[in-house]
């Protein structure tokens, strides 16, 4: 689903990502761990075709994402802190807009279905302005459900959710994986993100320092590795 080869991203002389290569297959979930400023968001944005790398190659969903970003976008779903909702529109109106923009079928039934799956059907007609952060995130996921995303990129998705919200999200992501989708979850904490992951990668100082299947390491080992690798390698300048 993702084939990244030697990605570099530099702003002028400052390198934000250096020589990052990784692969992700369908039905897999990668947890991208790293301290703040390590370049996780940048890498995720490059995967999402929102940002162009300075050099390197990237294939997403079988398409050369650098030369044909448009073709890759149909298969990509992004859940980031910017939740892409219009505050003055209602939940269902937002879904209608984004679904049509994504080229999908926006019939009322389908939209209501998606809202039901994310447990927002009760507030379908309410303006999003009144929603909490968690609700907005669920709306973003409903949007993804209505699209044809086969790759989900999530940037700190569990932040700000309560215990129940986290449980709900984990189940959602596992279901997505079971359906053949691929996931990248970027996070800086050892939380729920790791629970759904098959592989874990550590990004620090713009470099990929580890990329291993989750089964290989115990939590403690991972924790120790993480601390030692990120010790001198904090935020990028």
Partner 1 sequence: MTAYARRAWIVLWKDLLTERRSKENLNALLFFSLLLLFLFQFALGPDREGLRAALPGLLWLGFILAGLLGLGRSFMTERDNDCWEGLRLTPGDKSAIYLGKFLGNFVMMSAVEVAVLALFGLFYDVELWPVLGPLAVVLPLGTVGLAAVGTLFAAMTAQVRARELLFPVLLLPAQVPLLLAAVSVTQAVLLGRPLAEVAHWLKLLAAADLVYVVIGVLTFEFVLDA
The residues binding partner 1 (CB under 8 A) are: 48-52, 69-71, 73-74, 76, 78, 80, 82-89, 93, 96-98, 100-103
Nearest approach in angstroms of CB 51 to partner 1 is 6
- For partner 1, the closer of residues 106 and 210 by Cβ is 106
Q: Measured from the CB of residue 74, what is the shortest distance to partner 1 in angstroms?
A: 4
Residue 237, Cβ density class (10 Å: 0-12 exposed, 13-18 middle, ≥19 buried): exposed
Q: How far is the CB of 179 from partner 1 (least distance, A)?
A: 20
**CB of 82 or CB of 213, closer to partner 1:** 82
Residue 156 or 192: which CB sits closer to partner 1?
Answer: 156
Residue whose CB is less far from partner 1, 60 or 197 = 60
DSSP conformation class of 131: -
Q: Give bridge partners of residue 23 from the DSSP assignment.
A: 3
204: tokens are: 């620090």
- Nearest approach in angstroms of CB 102 to partner 1 is 6
| 84/168 with CB nearer partner 1 | 84
In the complex with partner 1, the residue whose CB is nearer, 96 or 166, is 96
- Residues 6 or more apart from 184 whose CB is under 8 A from it? 2, 24, 29, 30, 32, 44, 47, 151, 152, 153, 154
* Token duo for residue 45: 């944005």
| Least Å from the CB of residue 164 to partner 1 | 26
Q: How far is CA 196 from the centre of its chain?
A: 13
Tell me which residue of 156, 190, 176 sits closest to 40, measured CA to CA. 156
Do residues 61 and 75 touch, judged by C-beta distance below 8 A? yes
CB 93, min distance to partner 1, A: 7
219: left (phi > 0), else alpha (psi -120 to 50), else beta?
A: alpha
The two structure tokens encoding residue 60? 């997403």
């Amino acid at each position: 689903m993702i084939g990244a080869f030697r990605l570099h991203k530099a702003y002028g002389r400052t390198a934000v990502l250096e020589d990052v290569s990784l692969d992700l297959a369908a039905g897999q979930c990668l947890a991208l761990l790293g301290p703040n400023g390590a370049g996780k968001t940048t890498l995720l944005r490059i995967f999402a075709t929102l940002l162009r790398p300075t050099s390197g190659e990237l294939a997403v969903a079988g398409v050369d994402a650098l030369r044909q970003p448009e073709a890759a976008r149909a298969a990509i779903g992004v859940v980031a802190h910017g939740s892409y909702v219009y505050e003055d529109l209602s939940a269902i109106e937002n879904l209608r807009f984004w679904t049509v923009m994504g080229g999908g079928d926006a019939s009322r039934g389908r939209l209501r279905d998606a809202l039901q799956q994310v447990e927002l059907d009760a507030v379908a007609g309410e303006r999003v302005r009144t929603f909490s952060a968690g609700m907005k995130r669920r709306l973003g996921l409903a949007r993804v459900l209505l699209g044809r995303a086969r790759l989900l990129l999530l940037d700190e998705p569990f932040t700000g959710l309560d215990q129940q919200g986290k449980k709900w999200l984990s189940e959602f992501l596992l279901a997505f994986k079971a359906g053949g989708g691929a996931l990248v979850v970027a996070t800086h904490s050892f939380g729920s993100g790791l629970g759904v992951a098959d592989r874990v990668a550590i990004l620090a100082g713009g470099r990929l320092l580890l990329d291993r299947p989750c089964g290989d390491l115990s939590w403690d080992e991972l924790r120790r590795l993480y601390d030692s690798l990120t010790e001198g390698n904090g935020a990028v300048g």
